[in-house]
Amino acid sequence: MSNNVFPKDFLWGGAIAANQAEGAHLEGGKGLTTVDMIPYGENRMATKLGLLENVTLSDSEYYPSHQAIDFYHRYKDDIALLAQMGFKVFRTSIAWSRIFPKGDELEPNQEGIRFYKNLFLECKKYGIEPLVTLCHFDVPMHLVNEYGSWRNRKMISFFERYAKTCFTEFNGLVKYWLTFNEINILLHSPFSGAGILFKKGENKEQIKYQAAHHELVASALVTRIAHEINPQNQVGCMLAGGNFYPYSCKPEDVLTAMQKDRENLFFIDVQSRGYYPSYAQKVFDDKNVVIDITDEDREILKNTVDFISFSYYASRCASADMNDNNTSEANVVKSIKNPHLKASDWGWVIDPVGLRITMNTLYDRYQKPLFLVENGLGAIDTIDEHGEINDDYRINYLREHIKAMKDAISDGVPLMGYTPWGSIDLVAASTGEMSKRYGFIYVDRDNLGNGTLNRMPKKSFYWYKKVIETNGQDLK
Ligand code: BG6
């Protein structure tokens, strides 16, 4: 196989998200968002899953998003470091509540617009292309409290106004857009995924799939608007990816794996094809779900995405008799333990071949270019006696995954770019920890918010710089 498979204009870079990096949670006119209400510690999971009927801030809890890694104040220095590595693309998200602090205002918050304009200009200064997610796990809390978030159809027009504002204000600065980060996660983590809080006794599946429908319509609507505002705009969907393997070749295991994959691909099927897949009705019937879909919705859904973006951390595994006792979670998706694979300290299996399989599956199914917008190893880093971080485990993980990308490209899969997760250490979405680090750049901060917030390149920083310089040829 030729070593030179990455196209000349391949977009090498990295990814972060507003809610896990910016902090400054009430500065610059920003309003509270869902993630600002999710504490670190034992109450985190129940909050994320939407199991509390109300969420309020408590003095006795620590909320990691409130200061995060202070990217809001330090973005110039951070972008300069990313530029040193040779980044060609930088994925981040816009915090909806910086632009519309409550979410239902008619006019945007100019200070929020100014912040992102400056951020994108800073990227451009170094020739870095921004790749921007409109909604990365942060819905303005006012929309949750007043309207029940995405369970309410009104959210479509609030999101439309927000997206239109972004496409207009950042026209010419941003051309790659993603609508909803890991849209399928709303099924698995409804509050953090979509601001859903359940009321006692309601059919959770009904609420989740109706919310999903509203997000799908909103996504298609703003895809159309992005294209109308500037035909150069390219809009992608975003899947929390990773195929399910059948635990064995027993036909029932294979069938379960297929059904589990569909649960996630359901979203991308709609966003990429422009209509609900034929299996959707059976899923709804089985779950006692009746979706309110109008004729106008069906028309709007026809505005499909330009490319398929996805995250890949791990593959998954399913068997016909999987249940709460024989499964564990990686990235909030339940999976049987795969006996053939090793796992990270957080139990996320390490499976580069699974990336090749996932990429081939996605391209076979959609025939649209792919963009791998998250990938990486969450690990504990220690500073050695020379003051250095030798994160060879991270380099090994990334190297093997880049090799798998090469294999998939050689298989015939077009890949636009690669933005490994958390290029700079940030707050973990699942656990709220700082100690679960992904970055090429270390941030001095611990799980409870102590530390100087100083930045320091790790060994992987210099390794990734060389990977980018050689367009993925030198992976040593
Ligand atoms: C994805 C999210 O689910 O995985 C990110 O889009 C998240 O926001 C990433 O941070 C890694 O998960 P975690 O829990 O290790 O931060």
Most ligand 1 atoms within 8 A of CB, residue of 421, 431, 437, 438 to mutate: 421
* Interval between CA 342 and ligand 1 midpoint (Å): 19
Cβ neighbors of 382 (< 8 A, separation 6 or more) are 389
pLDDT for 3 = 57
Helical H segments across 65-203, by residue range: 71-84, 96-99, 110-125, 141-147, 154-169, 185-188, 190-194
**Cα(first)–Cα(last) distance of the chain, in Å?**
17
* 329 included as an active-site residue: no
* Interval between CA 137 and ligand 1 midpoint (Å): 10
CA-closest residue to ligand 1 atom 15: 428
Indicate the fold that domain 11-469 takes in CATH. Answer: TIM Barrel (3.20.20)
Q: By CB neighbour count within 10 A (0-12 exposed, 13-18 middle, 19+ buried), where does 206 fall?
A: middle
Q: Which amino acid is at 156?
A: I
* Interval between CA 331 and ligand 1 midpoint (Å): 7
**Can you tell me which residue has the tokens 């298609």?**
220
* 374 included as an active-site residue: yes
pLDDT for 331 = 66
* Interval between CA 332 and ligand 1 midpoint (Å): 10
pLDDT for 152 = 98
pLDDT for 8 = 95
Atom of ligand 1 minimally distant from the CA of 376: 11
In the chain, what are the domain boundaries? 11-469
Catalytic residue among 22, 129, 169, 374: 374
Q: How do the pLDDT tens digits run along the chain, 476 residues long?
A: 455 799 999 999 999 999 999 999 999 999 999 999 999 999 999 999 998 888 999 999 999 999 999 999 999 999 999 999 999 999 999 999 999 999 999 999 999 999 999 999 999 999 999 999 999 999 999 999 999 999 999 999 999 999 999 999 999 999 999 999 999 999 999 999 999 999 999 999 999 999 999 999 999 999 999 999 999 999 999 999 999 999 999 999 999 999 999 999 999 999 999 999 999 999 999 999 999 999 999 999 999 999 999 999 999 999 999 988 888 777 678 899 999 999 999 999 999 999 999 999 999 999 999 999 999 999 999 999 999 999 999 999 999 999 999 999 999 999 999 999 999 999 999 999 999 999 999 999 999 999 999 999 999 999 999 999 999 999 99
Cα separation, 407 vs 374, whole angstroms: 18
Atom of ligand 1 minimally distant from the CA of 438: 15
